[in-house]
Amino acid sequence: MMSIKAISLGVACLLCGVQAGPTVKLGNSMTVQGRTSPIASSVAEFLGIPYAEPPVGELRWEPPQPYDPKAQGRSVVNATALPPSCWQYISVHPAMMRTDVPEFMIGKAGMSEDCLTTSVWVPTNAVSQTSDLPVIIWFYGGGFATGGTDVPYQIPTKWIERTQGHIVVSFNYRINLFGYPDAAGVAEQNLGLMDQRLAVEWVRDNIKSFGGNPDRMVIWGQSAGSVAVDYYNFAFADDPIVGGFIMNSGTAHLNQLMSSDVIHSNFTFVAEGMGCGNQPDAASELACMKKVPAEKLENFVATYEDSGDSPSITFAPMVDEKLVFRNYTERAALRALSTLPALISHNVREGYFIAPYSVDGPDPAIADGLSKTYFWCPTFKTTKERLAAGRITHRAYYTGNFSNISPRPWFGAWHGSDLPLAFGTHADFRGNSTALEYETSHAIQDAYVAFAKDPINGLNELGWAAYTGARGIVRAYAENNTVVGYRSLDAIESGCEAEGLA
Catalytic residue positions, numbered: 223, 350, 415
Q: Is residue 414 within 8 Å of residue 347, measured between CB atoms?
A: yes
Pairing of strands 23-25, 31-33: antiparallel
Q: Are 222 and 248 in contact (CB under 8 A)?
A: yes
- Which residues contact residue 444 at a Cβ distance below 8 angstroms, ignoring those fewer than 6 apart? 418, 421, 422, 477
* Of 91, 186, 146, residue with least CA distance to 316: 146
The H or E element spanning position 216 is: strand 212-222
Concatenated DSSP letters for 290-305? TTS-HHHHHHHHHHHH
The single-letter DSSP state of residue 234 is H
Rounded CA-CA distance 270/277 in Å is: 9
Task: Give, in order, the Cα–Cα distances in Å from 221 to each of 193, 343, 358.
Answer: 13, 11, 28
Tell me the C-alpha distance between 78 and 119, whole Å: 12
Q: Number of C-alpha atoms within 13 angstroms, CB side, residue 198?
A: 21
Give the full edge-to-edge strand order of the sheet including 23-25.
Answer: 23-25, 31-33, 76-78
Residue 398: strand pairing partners: 347, 477
Q: Where are the beta strands (DSSP E) in 106-166?
A: 117-123, 133-139
Examine residue 311 and say whether the peptide bond preceding it is cis (omega within 30 degrees of 0): yes
